[in-house]
Structure 1
Amino acid sequence: MRSSDGKNTRLLTANDKVLPGRQLAANLVAVAVARGAPEHKLLRGTGIFTDDLVGDSTLSCRQIQKLAANAIQYAKGYDVAFRFGQQLITGSMNDALPYFMHARHFGQCLRALPVFQPLVSPFVSAQRFEDDDCYYYLLQDAMGCGKLFVFMVEAYCAALVALAKMCTGKRLPFHFDFPFGRPRHIQEYEENLGFRLRFNQPVFAIRIEKQAMSVPCLQPNLTLQAYARHRLNRQMHYRRGLLDSVRALLHRNSSLTLPEAAARLNMSAASLKRKLSEHQTSFSDLHDNIRRQQAIFYLQVQKLNNEQSAVKMAFSDITNFRRAVKRWTGLTPSELRQV
């Protein structure tokens, strides 16, 4: 379906077979095989066949998730996700790379990631916040990855580092936050992401100084970039993912109800509820996660006091605000400011 302006309006879900197999699956298989995983075991139970790794075969997010689960089980070492992310940028054909490589500066690359997310990063999305000096990207599960989300985040972060290096020739100063303890295989994180790492944080997050956005790309070319964008737009069967579409509605109106959101997405309330369940989430979970992001940014990042944060989040009662923050984050506002 296309809107009156010619743009795709369908919403990508985990079972839609639209992802290029030669890009996602082939790269993941190559990395896992290099780490000792037998190819036939990697493909077991995925519905993916060897022929799907070449040519124009398309696969679903759910199939790639099953492939990732097999890679975790059969590949040796702790760097499979990181290598997968790097391989997406530096390895075999990725139709999106020409657009990024011919950008004027890295800020243009980052702004384009959400635009081409169904093709570039279907599993991980980011909600951007900013202050005077930095941009903050709070990472979100875009496809109901569940326990595989850590793997997908590691791949996303490694791909971002590799993309910056390929486009600008520099390793830009990304800061990475992870909501779990310092891993025993910390050297894999440091080797692939650098040393600006924090663990035991409330959410997965990436921070980068605004001045880094103006770092020029090595091969800026408006003509080639426009051609690459034209090619990508022709491949964009879907505007964005279902989960991120619901999130976008909730960001615009935090009091939106499920039936109201369903109507704006041109589906019934029952259909939206079922589709969200298929992605291992619910409307209330998405709503709470958005409010959690806002609380973390205002309290932990900006260090606002309770009254200031409550006003920004439309709370009229400070006691209710404290209770909500504790429910969303497991921490009181004071504890969150100290993280």
Structure 2
Amino acid sequence: MDQANKRRKKRRLTKEEYLNGILSGDRFILSKAITLIESTRDDDRDLAKDIIKEIPKKDDTIRIGITGVPGVGKSTFIESFGLKLIEEGYKIAVLTVDPSSRVTRGSILGDKTRMEHLSRNPNAYIRPSAAGTSLGGVANKTRETMLLCEAAGYDMILIETVGVGQSETMVKEMVDFFLLLMLSGAGDELQGIKKGIMEMADLVTITKADGDNVKQAERAKRTYKNAMHLFPPKPNGWTPQVTTSSAIKNKGMNEVLSIIKKFVSQNRKSGHFEENRKNQNLYWFNTLISEELLDIFYKNPAVKEKISSIKSGVLSGNIDASAGKDKLLDIFLRNSV
């Protein structure tokens, strides 16, 4: 690290220094800004809000959500696909979300080591974040991180979620294109697949289609194509596609990129792309309200004073969960300004 970066690291940066650094594409400042917005300190949160308010919002970027079951090869796929994007002239930011331990609250944060070649490319920025207690397969501040990366000049944002599950669908509400990675060769290809996840997918890609798995991947591709016909048409008129890919053989990446370009072009012409961006902002607005209200609730002195005893009552069975909730809400409402 050079001396200038060392000095900046030691002292607190101003809002103007953050904004100038982000807009000039300074990766060091960008990383510090993301750390700032992830902070739970009140003074950091206030500064982060000011920065987010002033950064220019981009509408010429492409936001891609990538999800799939653990073991499907998300990181390997993203590295291969990311290198293809860079080859095509894109600057990419990869926002990866590591599952946090429910016991230690720790997170592996190992995506940079899993994307060794991509992480060394000057046109790629990889930022792992811990999911923490956030639902939706994304970190608490994924939206803000995405906006910072776009302001820093990254025009293709890839958001890798922690996996496929009933609650891990928030990513769909913040991206333009939703890519679902699936494995083949697991017997009945549709076993265990959430209908909601399939319905949201704009593209399903069968991974690891190489070696002895090629025929199984092609069978899975036909199965998924047939399954897609069972879902109602998408409001934007897009017909979900199904492809196969092999990250280690670098196969299928051209087709995936071609489909994404076609999707974006079609949706920009129809106006659905802009409409979706507006809906993303509205969803973010509603989420911010919910988060702020929760924060206000748990910081209320009267609630903080009584919550432990009420929780103990619920735990022991002396207080019904619903009754406990009503008690806390009543305390909050009576002691709110």
TM-score in terms of structure 1 length: 0.25
TM-score (norm 2): 0.25
Larger Cα-atom Rg: 2
Higher-RCO chain (CA-CA 8 Å, sequence separation at least 6): 1
